[in-house]
Amino acid sequence: MRDMSNLNFSIKQLLEMSACTNCQVCADVCPAVTASQDGALSATYRMKGLNRILRSRTGLFRKLFRKKEPSADAWNQFSNTVFRCTLCGNCEEVCPVGIHLRELWLSLRHDLVDSSYYPPKIDMIRDNLDESHNVFAEDNEERGDWVEDMRNAPDHGYIKAKAEVVYFTGCVAAYFPLAQKIPMALAEILEFSGVDFTLMGEQEWCCGFPLLGAGLKDMLQKFIDHNLAAVRAKGAKKVVFACPSCYQMWREYYPQQFEIAHVTQFLLKRVREGKIPLKELPLIVTYHDPCDLGRGARVFDAPRELIQSIPGVKFVELSENREACKCCGGGGNLEMIDAGLSKEIARQKIEAVMDTGAQAVITSCQQCVRTMATFVKRNKVPIEVLDITQLVQRALDR
């Protein structure tokens, strides 16, 4: 454990913390608080604990008020609340004084890891990514093996030496069986519409988001440098993502050396250009805004326009949508830290979906598909969970 200080927080963050008015609006919209009925998971509670810790580290404050560092038990209790958060950003969305809370929680996780107070699963995330370059500790050489399950897949398995577009698949879609239908659907659509694209296969490493969420920011640069070099080696001009977290990482933490787009933006453009002809599909659907794509990247319209461009599809909104959309429970590494809480958040999400009367819930995130589809399957809920790429694939007028 290093000598604890406040160096993991920017001056701006230290100033923002003092702006909290304890209004508790953030607690009202927190999916973890709603699902657990535990106020200790709220941003308000977390902010109080953070301020107490930061002040206890300040020499003058300690001398004046005889404050001591929190005990190991207090540190562990506080850490337990910090890591049981989906990082959905809804607290930041509603904060009346505009505190950048999501970034603050990332800095706080980094600080807790540096201070050696964190859940044991963080070590597993660190080891998996350090050794295997993916969050599941799978063989990274098998990152593109999902292509083998496609009908009429080309001999090159969509891994070309050079291409105009790189499809950055992401760890969940590459390895998790429930989510592998997403890259299969997207590869078919891209090929059908004449896009010159390639996968990176084993040369694709995790985008780095699980590292940020685990408080392991110090490991991030190695992953950024590798992925940028791998895309450059393909001679690509554009990188396309079906995973919002990968897209957000490249938007916020990678230097802008390439044009980047989320698949909803990329496919909508090609539909408008007439390069993806769509047939009638009679289906009532609703749409779940992924946290990183919606509140994070402010991409709300493209997925809705893409859904509504399909003839026959009837679109109904969730009661809480766009900026106010509730998390599915799959974010912030929560599944690894508290699977029960993740499941309860997913249950509340599916209940809201059922209230719309839709036959299917569409999203634009492989983790959202994984979380919601797992709950639906295990509990035999009569609704279909689809990524937007699967919906477009179903509507392709071949």
pLDDT for 325 equals 96
- Name the amino acid, one letter, at 123: D
Over 50: is that where the pLDDT of 9 sits? yes
Average pLDDT over residues 38-44: 90
Bridge partners (DSSP) listed for residue 241: 168, 262
Question: pLDDT digit string (tens) for 163-197?
Answer: 999 999 999 999 999 899 999 999 999 999 999 99
Q: What is the rounded CA–CA span in Å between residue 16 and residue 19?
A: 5
> In which band, very low, low, confident or very high, does the pLDDT at 60 lie, cut at 50, 70 and 90?
very low
> In which band, very low, low, confident or very high, does the pLDDT at 8 lie, cut at 50, 70 and 90?
confident
Q: Kindly state the percentage of the chain with pLDDT values over 90.
A: 78
Q: Which domains does the chain have, with CATH numbers?
A: 11-118 (1.10.1060), 122-269 (3.40.50.1860), 276-395 (3.40.50.1860)
Three-state DSSP state, 288:
coil
> In which band, very low, low, confident or very high, does the pLDDT at 162 lie, cut at 50, 70 and 90?
very high
Bridge partners (DSSP) listed for residue 278: 396
pLDDT for 207 equals 97
Q: What is the rounded CA–CA span in Å between residue 69 and residue 277?
A: 64
Task: Provide the edge-to-edge strand list for the sheet that holds 238-241.
Answer: 197-198, 165-168, 238-241, 259-262
